Amino acid sequence: MDIVSLIKEKLFTDELPLEARLINVICLVGMGAASAALAVHILIMPSPHLIFTKLGIVFSCLFLLYVCNRFRLYTFGIWGTLVSLAFVFFPLSFFMLGGADGGMTAYFTLIIVCAFLFLHGRHRLLFLAPAIAALSACYFVAMRFPSLVRQMTPLEQALDNIQSFVIAGLFVSYVILFQGRVYLAEKKKAEDASSGLARAKDNLLHREKLLVALTDVAMSLLGTGTQVSADGMTKVLKTLALSIDADRVCFWKRNPQGGEWSFVPVFQWAGDRRPVKADVTVTALWRTAFGERRHVNGMTRVLPEDDRLFLEAGGILSSLAIPIFLRNRFEGFISFVDCRNERVFSEEEANIMQSGALMIAAVLQREAARRDLEAALEGAHAASRAKSEFLANMSHEIRTPLNAIFGMTTLAENSSDAARKDYCLKKIREASSHLLGVINDILDISKIEANKLELSCANFDFKTMLKKAITVSDFRIQEKHLNFTTHVGDDVPRALYGDDQRLAQVITNLLGNAVKFTPEYGAIELDVRLAGKEDGRYILRISVKDSGIGISGEQQSRLFHSFEQADNSTTRRFGGTGLGLAISRRIIEMMDGRIWIESELGKGATFVFTVKISGGAPVGETTRPLTEEADNFEGFHVLLAEDVEINREIVLALLEPTRLAIDCATDGAEAVAMFSGNPERYDMIFMDVQMPHMDGYEATRRIRALDAPRAGAVPIIAMTANVFREDVEKCLESGMNGHIGKPLEFRAILAQMRRYLRR
């Protein structure tokens, strides 16, 4: 850097205050002039006085320059300059350079100019008064004591005069020039400041516009109450887009069906541009930005090629895409595009648009939650209605057989005719088994609702299962003189592995319905076919076709739901709980199949279902910007633990024909005591579960823990009304060998006795 640039930068930069720069001018000019005069004096007529005076001026100027600029003591500089000019330099020059004869006028003019330049108001007066007094004093002293004034030679005088006029002239012209430059610089500064102010004002106005837009959006969204219409949302988006001068805005939601980074346009405002129709899958640029919660903002032409081509095809010159996160979950993004200008949206624009977008997202989420809630509420109401109707039906369904049981019991009691008593008992049995069916349905449906229905698989013979299922409806079929035909395809395998009881339950239910809803002399067809094989399992297709009352299309859609019946009057005409088909559907679904209806009102109905069942081991047909014939168990001894007296009586009476010897205990503790008193006496124990003092589980555990060889071997069979799978498992876990459900079926007890009581 040369000396001129250095002086400019250090002493005349625009950053310095005006007076600092003026002082620097004075000092430099003074120093320059004094140095020049010093040189002239040394060359032409060396005079120690003059050399001393000029040197003094040079050093004073240097000193002032240093102190003012180093310590920024500009006020000190001003006063230092003026005071040294008026009270040191001027008197010194006056007496050294020939007094009033010298170029003193020019020097004093310089002092006055400086006073006017630097000082204002009373400061100017405060300085000029003593300065003029000092000037007058110099003249007075010179007149009174002329010998004090050093007389100059004519050459010296001429030189000094020239010098003083040159200094004063140079200084004044310099000041004028300088003032001009300063004026221009200050003017530019002022202009810059005012254009900065204008820019700031524009920014403020723009920000205000953005905030007003945001407020409008908030008011529209909050004012929507419970629902946001598509029109309302478009308006909101338009407000946002116009506030940042965008041509189109679109709110994109994640579209999980399309993949992790696929988005579907939910709402948009496109002004007079083409609206967005298709889903988009964003590229890596967007993925990375959204993953880091950043905006994608800027001109299309600087984007990677893929993105550039895609946006250019839509005529987009600039775009702003803001990811939307609600409760830390990435919901989608909002995009603003400009098809007319290339630009980068400001940080402020992006932030305010983000706030707007968040509000929209929050409102949409609120909307979705409200819809879910309404649907759930509607569902709950519907379920509650269906359950109320179900309860009414159920009451009817339970009371009807109970009425039969009570009525027939009274009739039997009052009759001495054995045949009539038999008839009554038969009716009581029918009503009881109907009641049991209703209770089983309720239990099944409650299991389904608790998601606890499970299949219990074993090898079974298909034909045997089918026969059992048909046997249940046999009597009613005959009673109604129905033409019942069965067809089983030759290729249907017999040896299967699955839950035969549940499969039989479905067929029984469909057959039962067909019988119920088909008038006398009607026809029912049961058809079983092998529909294929898949994953090593057979697909069986089973259909039950009847010529009954049929079901309308509208009714069909409801039937497989719990508690639903084709119509309410059906209940009164035909009875039923409305649970059978729901249970059947669930069982069929658990067997990986499906069920459907083919029917028209008044034209009969066909219920068709498929199930997938594995092949099994043959078990043989049981022929027996089982007979109810009593076997003979004479000589065997059984311990019955049962707290309810009537239940004890029933077991004793049921088993009387078998000649079995039965000892009774009235609770678990008594059973343990009786067994431990004589373990070898008992061949088997029937154990109720719920008993006072000690339940059946505990009693079993204690018996098994006894120190007697028979304690571990004696078969213990639960006889309980707790019939769920987990109840059975609990019995087995406690050490029992088997389980018989209540109400007791003679055949079930007999089966266990045949199994364990062998000679």
CB of 624 to ligand ADP, least distance (A): 32
CB of 435 to ligand ADP, least distance (A): 13
Q: Tokens at residue 752, please? A: 């266990």
CB of 473 to ligand ADP, least distance (A): 12
Q: How far apart are CA 532 and CA 612, in angstroms?
A: 9
Give strand pairing partners of 637: 661
CB of 416 to ligand ADP, least distance (A): 38
Q: How far is CA 232 from the centre of its chain?
A: 24
CB of 580 to ligand ADP, least distance (A): 3
When the beta carbons of 579 and 638 are compared against ligand ADP, the nearer one is 579
When the beta carbons of 473 and 658 are compared against ligand ADP, the nearer one is 473
CB of 574 to ligand ADP, least distance (A): 7
CB of 592 to ligand ADP, least distance (A): 21
AA identity, residue 584: S
When the beta carbons of 571 and 737 are compared against ligand ADP, the nearer one is 571
CB of 725 to ligand ADP, least distance (A): 23
3 state SS for 669-711: HHHHHHHHHCHHHCCEEEECCCCCCCCHHHHHHHHHHCCCHHH
Neighbours of 171 (CB within 10 A): 21
CB of 388 to ligand ADP, least distance (A): 16
When the beta carbons of 352 and 551 are compared against ligand ADP, the nearer one is 551
308-330 in b/e form (b: 16+ CB < 10 A) is eeebeeeebbbbbbbbbeeeeee
Instruction: Label the pairing between strands 716-720 and 262-269.
Output: unpaired
CB of 755 to ligand ADP, least distance (A): 34
Q: Are 285 and 296 in contact (CB under 8 A)?
A: yes
- Judged by DSSP in three states, 720 sits in strand
CA angle, residues 682, 687, 689, in degrees to nearest 5: 160
Q: How far apart are CA 33 and CA 164, in angstroms?
A: 9
When the beta carbons of 564 and 683 are compared against ligand ADP, the nearer one is 564
For the chain, helix (H) and strand (E) counts, in that order, are: 24, 18
CB of 565 to ligand ADP, least distance (A): 3
In the chain, the N- to C-terminal Cα span, in Å, equals: 126
CB of 562 to ligand ADP, least distance (A): 9
CB of 499 to ligand ADP, least distance (A): 19
When the beta carbons of 307 and 546 are compared against ligand ADP, the nearer one is 546
For residue 121, the number of C-alpha atoms closer than 13 Å in the C-beta half-sphere is: 1
Element (H, E) at 318: strand 318-326
CB of 745 to ligand ADP, least distance (A): 22
Q: How far apart are CA 656 and CA 322, in angstroms?
A: 85
User: What are the φ and ψ backbone dihedral angles of 353, each rounded to 5 degrees?
Assistant: -65, -35
When the beta carbons of 496 and 579 are compared against ligand ADP, the nearer one is 579
Element (H, E) at 498: strand 495-498
CB of 598 to ligand ADP, least distance (A): 11
Q: Tokens at residue 479, please? A: 């009673």
Q: How far is CA 743 from CA 400, 572, 665, 719, in A?
A: 19, 28, 20, 9
When the beta carbons of 580 and 741 are compared against ligand ADP, the nearer one is 580
Residues in contact with ligand ADP by CB under 6 A are 509, 513-514, 517, 546, 548-549, 551, 559, 565-566, 570, 576-581, 605
Nearest CA-CA partner of 488 in 538, 530, 460: 530
When the beta carbons of 156 and 564 are compared against ligand ADP, the nearer one is 564
When the beta carbons of 34 and 551 are compared against ligand ADP, the nearer one is 551
Neighbours of 347 (CB within 10 A): 11
Q: Are 480 and 512 in contact (CB under 8 A)?
A: no
When the beta carbons of 60 and 513 are compared against ligand ADP, the nearer one is 513
Q: Tokens at residue 328, please? A: 């830390």
Q: How far apart are CA 584 and CA 590, in angstroms?
A: 10
3 state SS for 22-66: HHHHHHHHHHHHHHHHHHHHHHHCCCHHHHHHHHHHHHHHHHHHH
Residues 6+ apart with CB under 8 A from 178: 21, 22, 25
When the beta carbons of 580 and 668 are compared against ligand ADP, the nearer one is 580
When the beta carbons of 24 and 509 are compared against ligand ADP, the nearer one is 509
AA identity, residue 710: R
When the beta carbons of 264 and 590 are compared against ligand ADP, the nearer one is 590
Nearest CA-CA partner of 493 in 590, 612, 608: 612
When the beta carbons of 99 and 437 are compared against ligand ADP, the nearer one is 437
Q: Tokens at residue 23, please? A: 């002082």
